[in-house]
Amino acid sequence: MTRLMFLAAAVFLLSAPASASQGDKEPVYRDCVKQCVRTNCTGARLRGFQSAQPPYMALTGWTCRDDCRYQCMWTTVGLYQAEGYSVPQFHGKWPFARFLCFEEPASALASLLNGLACLLMLLRYRSAVPRQSPMYHTITAFSLISLNAWFWSTVFHTRDTYLTEKMDYFCASAVILYSIYLCCVRTLGLRRPAISSMVGVLLILAFTSHVSYLTFISFDYGYNMAANATIGMINLFWWLCWCWLNRRILPYWWKCGMVVLLLHGLALLELLDFPPLFWVLDAHAVWHLSTVPVHFLFYSFLIDDSLHLLNTEKPGVKLD
């Protein structure tokens, strides 16, 4: 549920797709890139670039043309600042100072920390909750899907390519859809397994259709945001309703409610959308860094709830 809430709140608040931006539309930038590629990315100059390139840059797919775009981005930024204009975005992103092979160092680190927090709490969950608990396998599967999403988020912020962008988007969608299944199992499926099975099939079909459309028809950023936001808001209100109905039955209900409110509140950080501080720390990175501690509260709720379900025949108030 954690990565779902991060994404659902953000896409609900933000609507601009990552496409051509002011900086990469500038003639000075485009001419700079063309001249750099023509001069440095052919013949002996290209072989010299490749021989001098650090292995970690080559392994992460940095090409001579990519390096030209990076250098020309800073040339354009310098001209903007010299003329007193605000810093522009390039290809849908703010300019970031590259660290080793990391395009967005702070966001990559934040995604890694979220993944590590998720892994740590999954291990704690598995050590604290017996396998016989009704939600054990569903929560374990959800955690593994979340870990996969944070892995690709880290990779994407390390190196933005066609593949890493798609994997970041698709894996995030998988988390969002599976979180609906998690919510359904907890609120309805424990009493009516057939319902959660049918919902699971529908969600698999929805995910397949979603990925197929974005892959083979059109990678529509607006559609992707709208789809994720819709599912995310459904999941949000579903959990809040469950928390409200169980507030007098389950003493730990507030943890779930707090997680939901925290994640949507922290997502407001994305609205700041400022140029990176020290060319490293932007609003997106601050947002991801702020969500790392939420994993601990969320898994504390999951542990309490799983132990409760294990020790009682009635899982609490049903949401039906």
Amino acid present at 43: G
Beta bridge pairs of residue 99: 102
Nearest residue to 140 (alpha-carbon basis) of 127, 150, 155, 125: 125
Residues 6-40 pLDDT 10s? 444 444 333 334 456 788 888 999 999 999 999 99
pTM for this model (two decimals)? 0.84
Q: How far, in Å, CA of 183 to CA of 181, rounded?
A: 5
> Residue 88 carries which DSSP code?
P
Beta bridge pairs of residue 277: 281
Q: What are phi and psi of 286, to 5 degrees?
A: -60, -40
- Report whether pLDDT(5) > 60: no
Q: Work out the burial of residue 299: count CB atoms within 10 Å of its CB; fewer than 13 is exposed, 13-18 middle, 19 or more buried.
A: buried
pLDDT of residue 20: 64
Q: How far, in Å, CA of 281 to CA of 247, rounded?
A: 39
Q: What are phi and psi of 160, to 5 degrees?
A: -85, 105
First to last CA, the chain: 21
Nearest residue to 22 (alpha-carbon basis) of 283, 306, 275, 260: 275
pLDDT of residue 117: 96
118-131: average pLDDT? 96
